[in-house]
A and B are shown apart, each in its own frame.
Chain A
Amino acid sequence: NAGVTQTPKFRVLKTGQSMTLLCAQDMNHEYMYWYRQDPGMGLRLIHYSVGEGTTAKGEVPDGYNVSRLKKQNFLLGLESAAPSQTSVYFCASRGGAPRGRDSGANVLTFGAGSRLTVL
């Protein structure tokens, strides 16, 4: 009963370093998302994917890249970390819409979060 698993849970980086956050889900969900959570800002969407091999920009995509090579995995990359990217990152997944139905009803399942600090 793993659901959505994020690794690593904690990471400290120096400015300019690169890293990748991995999100894995075992629910065969079509849609996957990366959010960041900052104090007073709520959850903001960075990038999302509507299926294997697809990615799209969300609300705050700058400085991040993503890939969805396999349906179960959604990777978030920081090529050159900046202090402004210090945040808690959440991955989420959600089932796609059956033919003729809408996807809006489907509940997001979240991972436990990854706390990233950039010095």
Chain B
Amino acid sequence: AQKVTQAQTEISVVEKEDVTLDCVYETRDTTYYLFWYKQPPSGELVFLIRRNSFDEQNEISGRYSWNFQKSTSSFNFTITASQVVDSAVYFCALSEAHYTGANSKLTFGKGITLSVRP
């Protein structure tokens, strides 16, 4: 069975600090996908990134960066120079691949509440 653990529940930082959100996953599959979603105070869920298990390159998008390490089963998310608008709940999720085309359910972690203070 697949599992996603986000051990940090709440993080509070001051604006312009860097912050890293941790995500550890468990799966028996060799092919799988990892996702991060953001849920701002308005409540909607916004897709941030998808990474497949064969691509261990780190990715950077503006102030956001992601560090995928298969050796430690982790997919951590770093926000550089945080801003108040980054305040949200962040979810990490895992989807196993099914080459038959069958449904691949997405398993979410419990989320990390990030508060960025001015």
Contacts and interface: CB of A to CB of B under 8 A. Distances in A.
Do A and B truly interact? yes
Interface string A81-113: 000000010101000111111111111111011
Contacts of B111: 42-43
Interface residues of B, number: 28
A82 to B, nearest CB: 23
B114 to A, nearest CB: 15
Contacts of A74: none
Interface stretch (B12-20, B31-39, B62-70, B76-84): B31-39
A110 B47 CA distance: 9
Nearest to A99: B101
A104 B107 CA distance: 11
A58 interface: yes
Nearest to A111: B44
Contact of B97 (A58, A99, A105, A107): A105
Contacts of A56: 103
Which of A44, A58, A108, A109: most chain B CB closer than 10 A? Answer: A108
Contact of B98 (A42, A99, A104, A108): A104
Given A42-B109, A97-B98, A102 B47 contact: no
B91 A102 contact: no
B43 A104 contact: no
Contacts of A104: 31-33, 95-98, 104
Interface of B: 6, 9, 31-33, 35, 43-45, 47, 50, 52, 91, 95-99, 101-106, 108-111
8 contacts: A31-B103, A35-B108, A97-B98, A103-B103, A104-B31, A109-B47, A110-B44, A110-B45
**Shortest Cβ-Cβ A-B pairs, 10 listed:** A104-B104, A42-B110, A97-B101, A104-B97, A102-B97, A110-B45, A104-B95, A43-B108, A50-B103, A42-B108
